[in-house]
Amino acid sequence: MVSLIVLSTISRETISIENVNMNHLWVLGFYLLLPNRQPFKLIPALTISLFSIYVLFTFESTIVLGATRLNIITSVITLIAMNIIGFLSSLQLESQRYHQYLIQKTLLAGREQLRELAITDSLTGTLNRRGFIEMANVEFDRFKRYGETFSFTIIDMDRLKKTNDTYGHPVGDLALQKLVEAIKLEKRFSDTTGRLAGDEFGLLLPNTHAVQTLEIMSRIKTRLQDISVELPNNQHLQISISAGVTEVKKSDKTFDDIYRRADKALLSAKDKGRNTIEKA
Protein backbone atom coordinates (compact mmCIF):
# COMPACT_ATOMS: atom_id res chain seq x y z
CA MET A 1 0.00 0.00 0.00
CA VAL A 2 2.84 2.38 0.85
CA SER A 3 4.55 1.57 -2.44
CA LEU A 4 1.36 2.28 -4.39
CA ILE A 5 0.89 5.62 -2.65
CA VAL A 6 4.49 6.67 -3.32
CA LEU A 7 4.38 5.51 -6.95
CA SER A 8 1.04 7.19 -7.61
CA THR A 9 2.50 10.44 -6.30
CA ILE A 10 5.88 10.51 -8.06
CA SER A 11 4.54 9.13 -11.33
CA ARG A 12 2.57 12.30 -11.96
CA GLU A 13 4.10 15.10 -13.94
CA THR A 14 2.52 17.64 -11.64
CA ILE A 15 1.48 17.25 -8.03
CA SER A 16 -1.08 19.48 -6.37
CA ILE A 17 -0.91 20.38 -2.72
CA GLU A 18 -4.25 18.60 -2.35
CA ASN A 19 -2.65 15.34 -3.60
CA VAL A 20 -0.02 15.61 -0.90
CA ASN A 21 -2.59 16.47 1.74
CA MET A 22 -4.54 13.28 0.85
CA ASN A 23 -1.66 11.39 2.44
CA HIS A 24 -2.83 12.78 5.80
CA LEU A 25 -5.86 10.48 5.57
CA TRP A 26 -3.65 7.51 4.68
CA VAL A 27 -1.50 8.18 7.74
CA LEU A 28 -4.54 8.26 10.03
CA GLY A 29 -5.97 5.19 8.31
CA PHE A 30 -2.82 3.15 8.94
CA TYR A 31 -3.10 3.84 12.67
CA LEU A 32 -6.83 3.23 13.01
CA LEU A 33 -7.59 0.51 10.46
CA LEU A 34 -4.60 -1.83 10.55
CA PRO A 35 -5.17 -4.61 13.14
CA ASN A 36 -1.41 -5.11 13.60
CA ARG A 37 0.76 -4.18 16.56
CA GLN A 38 2.12 -0.64 16.91
CA PRO A 39 5.44 -1.11 14.99
CA PHE A 40 3.55 -2.35 11.93
CA LYS A 41 1.38 0.77 12.04
CA LEU A 42 4.21 3.18 12.69
CA ILE A 43 6.38 2.00 9.78
CA PRO A 44 3.91 2.76 6.93
CA ALA A 45 2.53 5.89 8.62
CA LEU A 46 5.97 7.41 9.18
CA THR A 47 7.15 6.36 5.72
CA ILE A 48 4.27 8.22 4.06
CA SER A 49 4.73 11.20 6.42
CA LEU A 50 8.45 11.53 5.67
CA PHE A 51 7.82 11.10 1.95
CA SER A 52 5.15 13.83 2.01
CA ILE A 53 7.41 16.19 3.96
CA TYR A 54 10.22 15.53 1.48
CA VAL A 55 7.94 16.35 -1.46
CA LEU A 56 6.69 19.50 0.23
CA PHE A 57 10.13 20.85 1.10
CA THR A 58 11.49 20.15 -2.37
CA PHE A 59 8.57 21.76 -4.15
CA GLU A 60 10.89 24.19 -5.87
CA SER A 61 12.71 21.35 -7.63
CA THR A 62 9.46 19.46 -8.21
CA ILE A 63 6.17 20.71 -9.56
CA VAL A 64 3.76 21.05 -6.61
CA LEU A 65 0.80 23.12 -7.70
CA GLY A 66 -0.57 25.55 -5.15
CA ALA A 67 2.39 25.14 -2.79
CA THR A 68 3.27 28.15 -0.66
CA ARG A 69 5.41 28.49 2.42
CA LEU A 70 2.28 28.86 4.57
CA ASN A 71 0.37 25.80 3.34
CA ILE A 72 3.56 23.72 3.38
CA ILE A 73 4.09 24.55 7.07
CA THR A 74 0.39 23.91 7.71
CA SER A 75 0.59 20.58 5.90
CA VAL A 76 3.68 19.50 7.88
CA ILE A 77 2.06 20.47 11.18
CA THR A 78 -1.06 18.54 10.14
CA LEU A 79 1.04 15.46 9.33
CA ILE A 80 2.72 15.62 12.74
CA ALA A 81 -0.66 16.07 14.41
CA MET A 82 -2.10 13.12 12.44
CA ASN A 83 0.75 10.90 13.62
CA ILE A 84 0.29 11.93 17.26
CA ILE A 85 -3.50 11.60 17.16
CA GLY A 86 -3.32 8.34 15.23
CA PHE A 87 -0.73 6.82 17.53
CA LEU A 88 -2.62 7.75 20.71
CA SER A 89 -5.93 6.58 19.25
CA SER A 90 -4.30 3.34 18.15
CA LEU A 91 -2.98 2.76 21.68
CA GLN A 92 -6.45 3.32 23.08
CA LEU A 93 -8.03 0.93 20.57
CA GLU A 94 -5.41 -1.70 21.30
CA SER A 95 -6.03 -1.28 25.02
CA GLN A 96 -9.78 -1.72 24.48
CA ARG A 97 -9.23 -4.80 22.32
CA TYR A 98 -6.94 -6.32 24.95
CA HIS A 99 -9.49 -5.54 27.66
CA GLN A 100 -12.22 -7.23 25.60
CA TYR A 101 -9.90 -10.20 25.08
CA LEU A 102 -9.38 -10.51 28.84
CA ILE A 103 -13.13 -10.33 29.44
CA GLN A 104 -13.75 -13.00 26.80
CA LYS A 105 -10.98 -15.17 28.25
CA THR A 106 -12.45 -14.82 31.74
CA LEU A 107 -15.92 -15.71 30.48
CA LEU A 108 -14.62 -18.79 28.68
CA ALA A 109 -12.67 -19.86 31.76
CA GLY A 110 -15.77 -19.35 33.88
CA ARG A 111 -17.89 -21.43 31.53
CA GLU A 112 -15.26 -24.17 31.52
CA GLN A 113 -15.14 -24.11 35.30
CA LEU A 114 -18.93 -24.33 35.51
CA ARG A 115 -18.88 -27.26 33.11
CA GLU A 116 -16.20 -28.95 35.22
CA LEU A 117 -18.34 -28.49 38.29
CA ALA A 118 -21.38 -29.84 36.44
CA ILE A 119 -19.65 -33.10 35.48
CA THR A 120 -17.43 -33.67 38.54
CA ASP A 121 -18.29 -35.59 41.68
CA SER A 122 -17.45 -33.29 44.59
CA LEU A 123 -16.61 -36.08 47.05
CA THR A 124 -14.19 -38.16 44.99
CA GLY A 125 -13.03 -35.69 42.33
CA THR A 126 -13.92 -38.14 39.55
CA LEU A 127 -16.49 -37.56 36.83
CA ASN A 128 -20.08 -37.78 37.97
CA ARG A 129 -22.58 -40.01 36.16
CA ARG A 130 -23.39 -37.37 33.55
CA GLY A 131 -19.75 -36.68 32.70
CA PHE A 132 -18.84 -40.35 32.62
CA ILE A 133 -21.72 -41.31 30.33
CA GLU A 134 -20.69 -38.48 27.97
CA MET A 135 -17.18 -39.92 27.77
CA ALA A 136 -18.54 -43.44 27.34
CA ASN A 137 -20.76 -42.37 24.44
CA VAL A 138 -17.75 -40.71 22.77
CA GLU A 139 -15.81 -43.96 23.15
CA PHE A 140 -18.73 -45.94 21.76
CA ASP A 141 -18.97 -43.63 18.73
CA ARG A 142 -15.25 -44.14 18.14
CA PHE A 143 -15.79 -47.89 18.21
CA LYS A 144 -18.63 -47.67 15.68
CA ARG A 145 -16.64 -45.43 13.36
CA TYR A 146 -13.13 -46.87 13.60
CA GLY A 147 -13.63 -50.26 15.24
CA GLU A 148 -11.44 -49.37 18.24
CA THR A 149 -12.41 -51.73 21.04
CA PHE A 150 -12.80 -50.79 24.70
CA SER A 151 -13.83 -52.33 27.99
CA PHE A 152 -16.19 -51.13 30.68
CA THR A 153 -16.34 -52.08 34.35
CA ILE A 154 -18.84 -51.30 37.10
CA ILE A 155 -17.12 -51.32 40.49
CA ASP A 156 -19.27 -51.58 43.61
CA MET A 157 -17.96 -51.03 47.13
CA ASP A 158 -19.14 -53.92 49.27
CA ARG A 159 -21.56 -53.12 52.10
CA LEU A 160 -21.30 -49.32 51.96
CA LYS A 161 -24.81 -48.93 53.39
CA LYS A 162 -23.89 -51.08 56.39
CA THR A 163 -20.74 -49.00 56.89
CA ASN A 164 -22.74 -45.77 56.84
CA ASP A 165 -25.35 -47.15 59.24
CA THR A 166 -22.75 -48.54 61.63
CA TYR A 167 -19.98 -45.93 61.64
CA GLY A 168 -21.62 -42.90 60.01
CA HIS A 169 -21.40 -41.28 56.60
CA PRO A 170 -18.01 -39.60 57.17
CA VAL A 171 -16.41 -43.06 57.47
CA GLY A 172 -18.27 -44.22 54.36
CA ASP A 173 -17.15 -41.12 52.45
CA LEU A 174 -13.53 -41.72 53.46
CA ALA A 175 -13.79 -45.33 52.31
CA LEU A 176 -15.06 -44.16 48.90
CA GLN A 177 -12.17 -41.72 48.59
CA LYS A 178 -9.65 -44.44 49.41
CA LEU A 179 -11.25 -46.71 46.82
CA VAL A 180 -10.86 -44.01 44.17
CA GLU A 181 -7.22 -43.54 45.18
CA ALA A 182 -6.61 -47.26 44.65
CA ILE A 183 -8.29 -47.17 41.24
CA LYS A 184 -6.24 -44.15 40.15
CA LEU A 185 -3.00 -45.85 41.20
CA GLU A 186 -3.70 -48.88 39.01
CA LYS A 187 -5.55 -47.44 36.03
CA ARG A 188 -3.73 -45.99 33.04
CA PHE A 189 -3.66 -42.33 32.10
CA SER A 190 -6.03 -42.96 29.18
CA ASP A 191 -8.62 -44.73 31.37
CA THR A 192 -11.60 -42.80 32.72
CA THR A 193 -13.20 -43.14 36.15
CA GLY A 194 -16.61 -41.86 37.19
CA ARG A 195 -19.04 -42.19 40.07
CA LEU A 196 -22.23 -43.73 38.72
CA ALA A 197 -24.18 -43.95 41.98
CA GLY A 198 -23.59 -43.81 45.74
CA ASP A 199 -21.37 -46.89 45.92
CA GLU A 200 -20.83 -47.61 42.23
CA PHE A 201 -18.00 -46.43 40.00
CA GLY A 202 -17.42 -46.86 36.29
CA LEU A 203 -14.06 -47.56 34.68
CA LEU A 204 -13.69 -47.01 30.94
CA LEU A 205 -10.62 -48.55 29.31
CA PRO A 206 -9.96 -47.60 25.64
CA ASN A 207 -8.17 -50.06 23.34
CA THR A 208 -8.44 -52.73 26.01
CA HIS A 209 -9.94 -56.21 25.89
CA ALA A 210 -11.84 -57.73 28.79
CA VAL A 211 -8.98 -60.12 29.63
CA GLN A 212 -6.61 -57.16 30.13
CA THR A 213 -9.26 -55.36 32.19
CA LEU A 214 -9.55 -58.37 34.49
CA GLU A 215 -5.83 -58.08 35.19
CA ILE A 216 -6.18 -54.38 36.08
CA MET A 217 -9.17 -55.11 38.31
CA SER A 218 -7.22 -57.88 40.01
CA ARG A 219 -4.43 -55.39 40.80
CA ILE A 220 -6.97 -52.93 42.24
CA LYS A 221 -8.46 -55.70 44.36
CA THR A 222 -5.00 -56.66 45.64
CA ARG A 223 -4.07 -53.06 46.41
CA LEU A 224 -7.25 -52.64 48.48
CA GLN A 225 -6.08 -55.41 50.78
CA ASP A 226 -3.44 -53.00 52.07
CA ILE A 227 -5.89 -50.10 52.43
CA SER A 228 -8.25 -49.63 55.37
CA VAL A 229 -10.16 -46.87 57.10
CA GLU A 230 -9.18 -46.13 60.68
CA LEU A 231 -12.07 -46.39 63.17
CA PRO A 232 -12.38 -45.42 66.84
CA ASN A 233 -10.73 -47.70 69.43
CA ASN A 234 -7.86 -48.50 67.02
CA GLN A 235 -10.12 -50.55 64.77
CA HIS A 236 -9.83 -50.62 60.99
CA LEU A 237 -12.41 -51.07 58.26
CA GLN A 238 -11.23 -53.20 55.38
CA ILE A 239 -12.42 -52.14 51.91
CA SER A 240 -13.51 -54.69 49.33
CA ILE A 241 -15.22 -54.47 45.98
CA SER A 242 -17.35 -56.43 43.57
CA ALA A 243 -17.10 -55.70 39.86
CA GLY A 244 -18.65 -56.57 36.53
CA VAL A 245 -16.38 -56.47 33.47
CA THR A 246 -17.41 -56.49 29.83
CA GLU A 247 -16.08 -55.61 26.41
CA VAL A 248 -17.87 -53.80 23.58
CA LYS A 249 -19.41 -56.06 20.94
CA LYS A 250 -20.40 -55.47 17.33
CA SER A 251 -24.00 -56.32 18.23
CA ASP A 252 -24.20 -53.42 20.73
CA LYS A 253 -26.52 -50.68 19.49
CA THR A 254 -25.80 -48.12 22.20
CA PHE A 255 -23.64 -47.82 25.30
CA ASP A 256 -26.69 -48.85 27.33
CA ASP A 257 -26.27 -52.40 25.97
CA ILE A 258 -22.73 -52.49 27.39
CA TYR A 259 -23.87 -50.97 30.67
CA ARG A 260 -26.59 -53.58 31.16
CA ARG A 261 -24.14 -56.40 30.44
CA ALA A 262 -21.63 -55.09 32.98
CA ASP A 263 -24.40 -54.56 35.54
CA LYS A 264 -25.54 -58.16 35.07
CA ALA A 265 -21.96 -59.35 35.68
CA LEU A 266 -21.82 -57.18 38.82
CA LEU A 267 -25.02 -58.77 40.18
CA SER A 268 -23.47 -62.17 39.54
CA ALA A 269 -20.39 -61.13 41.53
CA LYS A 270 -22.57 -60.04 44.45
CA ASP A 271 -24.53 -63.28 44.35
CA LYS A 272 -21.25 -65.18 44.73
CA GLY A 273 -20.60 -63.55 48.08
CA ARG A 274 -19.08 -60.19 47.03
CA ASN A 275 -15.36 -59.36 46.88
CA THR A 276 -15.51 -60.94 43.42
CA ILE A 277 -14.90 -59.83 39.82
CA GLU A 278 -17.10 -61.31 37.09
CA LYS A 279 -16.81 -61.02 33.31
CA ALA A 280 -19.77 -60.90 30.94
Residue that is last in its domain, among 83, 99, 115: 99
**In terms of domains, do 197 and 268 share one?**
yes
Q: What percent of the chain has pLDDT over 90?
A: 50
Examine residue 65 and state whether it is found in any structural domain, yes or no. Answer: yes
**Mean pLDDT value of segment 62-66:** 58
DSSP category for residue 233? G
**In terms of domains, do 167 and 223 share one?**
yes
**Mean pLDDT value of segment 43-60:** 73
Q: How far apart are CA 247 and CA 146, in angstroms?
A: 16
Examine residue 119 and state whether it is found in any structural domain, yes or no. Answer: no
**In terms of domains, do 92 and 198 share one?**
no
Q: Which amino acid is at 94?
A: E
Most confident of 3-7, 52-56, 95-99, 240-244: 240-244
Examine residue 273 and state whether it is found in any structural domain, yes or no. Answer: yes
214 contacts: CB under 8 Å, gap ≥ 6: 245, 277, 279
Residue that is last in its domain, among 99, 114, 138: 99
Residue that is last in its domain, among 82, 99, 116: 99
**Beta strands 241-247 and 150-157, pairing class:** antiparallel
Write out the E strands in 101-250.
Answer: 150-157, 192-195, 200-206, 228-231, 235-238, 241-247
**In terms of domains, do 63 and 187 share one?**
no
**In terms of domains, do 154 and 273 share one?**
yes
**In terms of domains, do 67 and 133 share one?**
no
pTM of the full predicted structure? 0.64
**In terms of domains, do 149 and 253 share one?**
yes
pLDDT attached to residue 260:
97
57 contacts: CB under 8 Å, gap ≥ 6: 72
Q: Which residue has the higher pLDDT, 107 or 201?
A: 201
Among candidate residues 219, 246, 54, the one with its CA nearest the CA of residue 150: 246
23 contacts: CB under 8 Å, gap ≥ 6: 5, 9, 48, 49, 51, 52, 79
**Mean pLDDT value of segment 189-201:** 94
**In terms of domains, do 78 and 172 share one?**
no
Where residue 87 falls among pLDDT bands split at 50, 70, 90? confident
Q: Which residue has the higher pLDDT, 83 or 112?
A: 83
**In terms of domains, do 93 and 151 share one?**
no
**In terms of domains, do 74 and 140 share one?**
no
For 187-252, where are the alpha helices, taking DSSP H only? 210-224
Range of the domain at 160: 129-279
**Mean pLDDT value of segment 211-230:** 93
Burial class of residue 263 in the structure, from the number of CB atoms within 10 Å of its CB (0-12 exposed, 13-18 middle, 19+ buried):
middle
**In terms of domains, do 166 and 271 share one?**
yes
> Crossing angle for the helix pair 69-119 and 17-33, nearest 10 degrees?
20
Where residue 116 falls among pLDDT bands split at 50, 70, 90? low
Q: Measure the N-to-C terminal CA separation of the chain; round to a whole number of Å.
A: 71
Examine residue 87 and state whether it is found in any structural domain, yes or no. Answer: yes
Examine residue 200 and state whether it is found in any structural domain, yes or no. Answer: yes
**How many independent structural domains does the chain possess?**
2
Examine residue 139 and state whether it is found in any structural domain, yes or no. Answer: yes
Q: Is residue 107 over pLDDT 70? A: no
Q: How far apart are CA 126 and CA 176, in angstroms?
A: 11
Q: What number of other Cβ atoms are within 10 A of residue 254's Cβ?
A: 11
